[in-house]
Structure 1
Amino acid sequence: MESAITTIVSQFKTYAGSDGSSSTLSKEEFRNLVASQLPISVKNASDPGVIDQLMGSIDENNDGELTFSEFWQLIGKLASKQGGFSQ
């Protein structure tokens, strides 16, 4: 599990850092991350409307960017869904 956590953190920082700040994901960075790393887990990942809706559902402070904590909510939801756990 430690390697999975390391990978998730590393991927977040890589995609978040494309605009110079590795602490948050912009909408564009989030779209790129989802399309590249979660194309099966997120249906229609290339649809801008899907990305807008998904980002809006986890952007707790509605600032248009995702912190790692906000992003982690998505990972938890996807893992629960994949594992067949109720939410």
Structure 2
Amino acid sequence: MEPAINIIVSQFKTFAGKDGSSNTLSKEEFTSLLISQLPNFVKNATDPATVDQLMSSLDENNDGELTFLEFWQLIGKLAGKQGGFC
């Protein structure tokens, strides 16, 4: 599992760093990550309304960006669904 965690952290930092800060994902960075890294798990990732709804459900402090811990909620939900736990 350690390699999987390292990949998730690395990908988060790569996409988050596109605007200069590798600590948070902007809406644009989040959209880019969804489209390129989770195309089969997140349906309609190219639809702005879908991204807005998903981002809003994860953005606990409503600052318009996702921290790694906020993003991690999505990974947990997707893994749970993929494993048949949800």
TM-score by length of 1: 0.97
1:58 and 2:58 matched:
yes
Identity %: 76
Gaps of 5+ in 1: none
Equivalent pairs, count: 86
Q: Secondary structure at the match of 1:75?
A: helix
Show the counterpart of 1:73. Answer: 73
Question: What amino acid does structure 2 have at the position aligned with 1:35?
Answer: I
User: What's the Cα RMSD here?
Assistant: 0.4
Runs of 5+ unmatched residues, structure 2: none
Quote the Cα distance in structure 2 between the aligned partners of 1:19 and 1:3.
26
Deviation at 1:28, TM superposition (A): 0.3
Q: 1:34, 1:20 → 2: CA distance?
A: 19
Aligned equivalents of 1:73, 1:54: Cα separation in 2: 11
| Residues in 1 aligned to 2:45 and 2:28: alpha-carbon distance in whole angstroms | 12
Deviation at residue 48 of structure 1 after TM alignment = 0.8
Amino acid at match of 1:30: F
Moved over 4 A (4+): none
